[in-house]
Amino acid sequence: MLKTGATIIPIFYHIEPSDLRWIEPGKGKYADAFSEHEKKGRYTPEKLNVWRRALRDSSFISGYTINNNKDEATVLKNIVNCTFQIMKKVPLWVAEHPLGLDELIQGFESVAGEEKVKIMGIAGIGGSGKTTLAKELFNRNFSSFERCSFVFDVRDAASRNALSDKQKKLLADLGVHDLPFDSVDEGKIILANRLSSHRALIVLDDVDHIDQLSALLPNKDNLGSQSMVIVTTRELGVLKSWGISSIYKMPGLSMPHAGQLFCWHAFLQPFPPPGFEVLVQKFLKACNSLPLSLKVLGAQLYGKKSRDYWKSQLNKILRILPGEIKERLQVSYDALDE
């Protein structure tokens, strides 16, 4: 019953889960029914034992009980909400041109380790592809978890005093819909009680302060067994301060992948047209293989067929990069290596 890895929601209709745990001959409410099957001989003893085990196993799975003491309509509404949340598990859009992701996944997994509860970080400068990698990891793994949640733009929410909205989104993905609250502190209490209840995959994207982790992971030492939490950030110190030791530092794209990404945006094809090969290589070097810069500059050059125009734009970029962007890139990468 459980081999497929599918989520099972038992509904105990006018029975109690404990009724299914005593189904041996002469014991429990279902003993007589099994005895009748045995007498008729329509099913083999092996088949009946499989049924017994399935019923017994289902009694230990968290589900819903409908009896005379509960409002059936309310229970059915809760079942529909729960099922809807499970069915919402759909892949995230990753990127139009997802280049180099397999290599990044391998690098991340080499850092991840084999802990039963994994809390891992992805650190890198803005535009280095952290969110893209996190979305790909989410898509490849979410079907193996009971619950999953990708919380985008945590830093932005914190700057707008809207962290409680992110808490509510996370709780909704964990199956909690009917516990209203207004403050971050109230949300922390509810999350602390719920995060340990499920084997969950959680991604907290673009975190830049330890207070944000405290708000969204208030009980990081008591997560559900075999849960996985991925935190993306520009601030390596935030991860270390929170006790996250498994950290993947984003590398730049390899030159072949950087070239393809740039060309897709500049030429709508993965390679440069004749006469632009050298110019493309110079732009790649100027961008330091940073995905966001490759996309933006490539898009700005799209449709510009004059090599003189390309050269003039390259000269402008080279004048800007040493004083602003390139220095910031180098400082950020040096900080990651400390």
d(CA 271, CA 259): 7
Co-location of 271 and 151 in the same domain:
no
Sheet of 118-123: strands edge to edge? Answer: 147-151, 200-207, 228-233, 118-123, 246-249
Report if residue 2 sits inside a domain. Answer: no
Residue with the bigger pLDDT between 31 and 158: it is: 158
**pLDDT level of residue 237 (50, 70, 90 thresholds):** very high
User: Which residues are within 8 A (CB) of 331 and not within 5 positions of it... i.e. 6 or more apart?
Assistant: none
Co-location of 234 and 286 in the same domain:
no
d(CA 327, CA 253): 19
Report if residue 94 sits inside a domain. Answer: no
Average pLDDT over residues 223-232: 91
The pLDDT value given to residue 150: 97
Average pLDDT over residues 158-176: 91
> Which token pair is 166?
């992110």
d(CA 329, CA 79): 50
83 and 195 Cβ atoms separated by less than 8 Å = no
Domain boundary among 220, 249, 278: 249
DSSP state of 253: P
Co-location of 241 and 122 in the same domain:
yes
Co-location of 169 and 279 in the same domain:
no
Co-location of 32 and 127 in the same domain:
no
Torsions phi, psi for 122 (to 5 deg): -120, 115
Q: Which domain holds residue 230?
A: 101-249
Burial zone of 139 (CB within 10 Å; 0-12 exposed, 13-18 middle, 19+ buried): middle
Task: Give how far the C-alpha of residue 5 lies from the chain's centroid of Cα atoms, to the nearest Å.
Answer: 18
The pLDDT value given to residue 88: 60
**pLDDT level of residue 48 (50, 70, 90 thresholds):** confident
Report if residue 3 sits inside a domain. Answer: no
Whole-number mean pLDDT of the chain? 84
Report if residue 5 sits inside a domain. Answer: no
Domain boundary among 62, 87, 112: 87
- Judged against a pLDDT cut of 60, whether residue 2 lies above it is answered with no
Residue with the bigger pLDDT between 194 and 87: it is: 194
**pLDDT level of residue 323 (50, 70, 90 thresholds):** very low
- Judged against a pLDDT cut of 90, whether residue 149 lies above it is answered with yes
CATH code of the domain containing 137: 3.40.50.300
Co-location of 223 and 267 in the same domain:
no
User: Which residues are within 8 A (CB) of 208 and not within 5 positions of it... i.e. 6 or more apart?
Assistant: 154, 155, 158, 233, 234, 235, 238
CATH code of the domain containing 79: 3.40.50.10140
- Judged against a pLDDT cut of 60, whether residue 203 lies above it is answered with yes
Report if residue 4 sits inside a domain. Answer: no
Report if residue 304 sits inside a domain. Answer: yes
Co-location of 49 and 140 in the same domain:
no
Average pLDDT over residues 16-41: 77
Co-location of 231 and 118 in the same domain:
yes
Residue with the bigger pLDDT between 113 and 84: it is: 113
Report if residue 92 sits inside a domain. Answer: no
Amino acid sitting at position 112: A
Overall domain count for the chain: 3
Co-location of 142 and 236 in the same domain:
yes
Co-location of 182 and 260 in the same domain:
no
Residue 14 DSSP SS3: coil
Co-location of 128 and 232 in the same domain:
yes
Report if residue 244 sits inside a domain. Answer: yes
Domain boundary among 249, 280, 312: 249
Whole-prediction pTM value? Answer: 0.69
Co-location of 144 and 231 in the same domain:
yes
Residue with the bigger pLDDT between 121 and 35: it is: 121
